[in-house]
Copies of this chain bind each other. A is one copy, B any other.
Amino acid sequence: MKIPVGILGAGMVGQQYMALLKNHPWFEVRYIAASPRSAGKKFSEAVAGRCHFGGIAEVFGNIIVADANDVSKAAAASKAGDCAFVFCGLEMPNDELKILEASYAAAGIPVISNASAHRWTADVPVVVAEVNHSHLDIIPAQRKAHGWDKGFITVKPNCSIQSYTTPVYALMQAGYEVKRLIVTTLQAVSGAGYPGVPSLDIIDNIVPYIGGEEEKSETEPLKILGSIENGVFKKADQPKISAHCNRVPVTDGHTACVSIEFGAQKPSIAEIKKIWTEFRSLPQELELPMAPVRPIIVRDETDRPQPRKDRDADKGMAVTVGRIRPCNVFDIRFTGLSHNTIRGAAGGGVLNAELLKHKGYLG
C-alpha cells in the first residue's frame, strides 16, 4: 500500500514532482490541485500545450484538478485516503502562499514546499536532506505552537545554493571551520520556471542578475547550518557568503564557482577530495529511494563538472564537484554543479518526504 500524495501546482515544479513520482516505491500521486483556471479540468487538459515531461499526462491525465485555494477539497481527499500530505509547487505571492500553506497544515495535511514563502518562518525547517535532516525534528514543536494535529510545514532551500552547500557542510562536519565564501553561479533557465526567461534575453547572451537570488544564496545556508533553540531556528554565524548570480543559456544544471576561506585549520586538496568522496549521510544510510549513492561526486578531469555531462548524475540527485585547487586569494576554490529542478527542487522535496516518512511524521 503506497502513501497517497497530493501535488499543489501544475506548472514546471508540480509536473517535475509527478515525473519523479511516476514509479515511486512508497508514494502515489492521487490528488492534484492548481490555479482556479485549471480547476475542474482533467490534468491532461489542464496542461495541454505546456506539458514538460514525457509520460505524466499518460499516467496522471485523468485526475480531475482541484482548486488549490480550496483547502476543504484537499481535506476531503485526505479523509477519503487520497492525500496523506502535499508537495507544494504553487507560484503565487509569498504573503498569500504563506497563509495558504498554513491552512493546509491546519487542516491536517503536511506541506513539503518548494516555495520560498515560509523559508524564514522561525519554526519552519529549510532542509537539504544530507545536511540538516535533524532540523525535521522541530516538527512536534511546530505542531504544538500552532495547534496543528497532523499537519506541519517543511521547505527546501533555493536551487542556487545546492551546488555548494553540501560540499561546504561536509568540510565543516570534518572539523574545518569555513569562514567566508565568494560564489559566482551560472544558473540554468529552468530555474525561472515556464515561460520564464525569454529566448531573446538569453540566446548568445548572459544576464548578470536574478531577482532576489543573491540574498537567498547568502542567507539560506545560514539557516540550514543553524541550530534549534527554544523551538525556533537560530542562524549560524558563518560562513559569510557573497554571491554573484547569473542566468546562462543552459536548460538545466546550476554551476557554481566557489572560493573558500577556512579558519586556522586548513585541509589539503587531497583531504578535501577524500572528505567529499567519502561523505555519506542519513539518506544514504537508510538507502532512501531518492537518495544518491554518493551525495558528492568528485571528478578529476581538468574541465568538469559541466551541466550537460554531469547534471543527471545519480538520477540528478548528486552534486558533482571538480577543479579543486588552491585559491590565490582565499584557501581553496572549486566548481560545483547540481541539477536545479531535481536535486535543487522536486527531487530534493521527494527525498525530504522519504526522510519524513522514515521519521514517522507522515502518518
Question: CB < 8 Å: which of B181, B199, B218, B328 contacts A242?
Answer: B328
Contacts of A190 in B (CB 8 A): 200
Stretch at the interface among A69-77, A124-132, A202-210: A202-210
Q: Is A156 an interface residue (CB 8 A)?
A: no
- Report B-chain residues with C-beta under 8 Å of the C-beta of A194: 198, 200
Which residues in chain A, 160-183, are within 8 Å of chain B measured between CB atoms? 180-182
- What is the interface size of chain A, counting residues whose CB is below 8 A from a CB of the partner? 60
| A307 on the B face (CB < 8 A) | yes
Say if the beta carbon of A323 comes within 8 Å of chain B: yes
A255 touches B307 (CB 8 A): no
Asked if A102 is at the interface of the complex by the 8 Å CB criterion, the answer is: no
- Please, which residues of chain B bring their CB within 8 A of the CB of A202? 199, 203
Give chain B nearest CB distance to A306 CB in angstroms: 5
Copy number in this complex?
4
Chain B proximity mask over A124-157: 1 for CB below 8 Å, otherwise 0: 0000000000000000000000000000000000
A197 at the A/B interface (Cβ < 8 Å)? yes
Docked pose: A201 CA to B181 CA in angstroms: 29
Interchain CA distance A321-B248 in the complex, whole Å: 18
Q: Which residue of B lies closest to A180 (CB)?
A: B329
Say whether A304 faces chain B, with CB atoms less than 8 Å apart: yes
Tell me how far the C-beta of A251 lies from the nearest C-beta in chain B, rounded to whole angstroms: 5
| A-B contacts besides A180-B329, A205-B306, A242-B327, 20 pairs, CB < 8 Å | A49-B301, A49-B302, A54-B313, A184-B244, A184-B257, A196-B199, A198-B199, A203-B203, A203-B204, A203-B308, A204-B249, A204-B250, A205-B250, A206-B250, A208-B255, A208-B303, A208-B305, A208-B306, A244-B257, A248-B248
